[in-house]
Amino acid sequence: MLKRLLQVFAAPSGREETSSKDRIPLAAAVLLLEVAHTDGDFHQAEKDLLETILCDHFKVAPDYLVELLELAANTRKNSLDLHQFTREINTAFTQPEKEQIIEVVWQLVYADGCLDHYEEALMRQLGSLIGLSHRQLITAKMKMANS
């Protein structure tokens, strides 16, 4: 599985496209790592929650978690933007599912106990990239801030 994921975002022309199922866990992991690192601190609480989110919401097998996170960290370092990753979320999930995803991402933002202005800006960008309205984004934010 991970060998296929390694090739996911750097497909040479003429190569058969990788299925969306293979791309989603990596895209989700990259986005989650980006959010977790946005404030300059990657707390243990964020790491634990990130792993839970990947297993529960994106169906990553625990056996592949460490390798996936290493691959996602490398992919994140070599990426120029978030569009390629949010595109996978957009094609794979319905609007209500994307709202649920943004809720758990807000949960990750609040895992360290505070909301940094860089985190909030990134969340606005992610919400827009996955096609959520400002209202949907704020509703999810308030729900997670009050939980």
Is residue 35, in this structure, part of any structural domain at all? yes
Structure tokens at 89: 């979320």
Is residue 32, in this structure, part of any structural domain at all? yes
pLDDT band at 20; cut points 50, 70, 90: low
CA distance 139 to 4: 37
- When divided into structural domains, the chain yields a total of 1
Is residue 76, in this structure, part of any structural domain at all? yes
Is residue 60, in this structure, part of any structural domain at all? yes
Q: Is the pLDDT of residue 14 over 60?
A: no
Is residue 14, in this structure, part of any structural domain at all? no
Query: What is the average per-residue pLDDT within 121-143?
Result: 95
What CATH number does residue 41 fall under?
1.10.3680.10
Is residue 81, in this structure, part of any structural domain at all? yes
Is residue 106, in this structure, part of any structural domain at all? yes
Containing structural domain, residue 113: 2-7+20-145
Each residue of 85-95: pLDDT tens digit? 999 899 999 99
Q: Lowest mean pLDDT: which of 1-15, 83-97, 124-138? A: 1-15
How far out from the chain centre does Cα 36 lie? 9
pTM of the predicted structure, to 2 decimals: 0.81
Each residue of 70-114: pLDDT tens digit? 999 999 999 888 998 999 899 999 999 999 999 999 999 999 888
- Least Cα distance to 50 among 32, 76, 75 occurs for 32
Is residue 12, in this structure, part of any structural domain at all? no
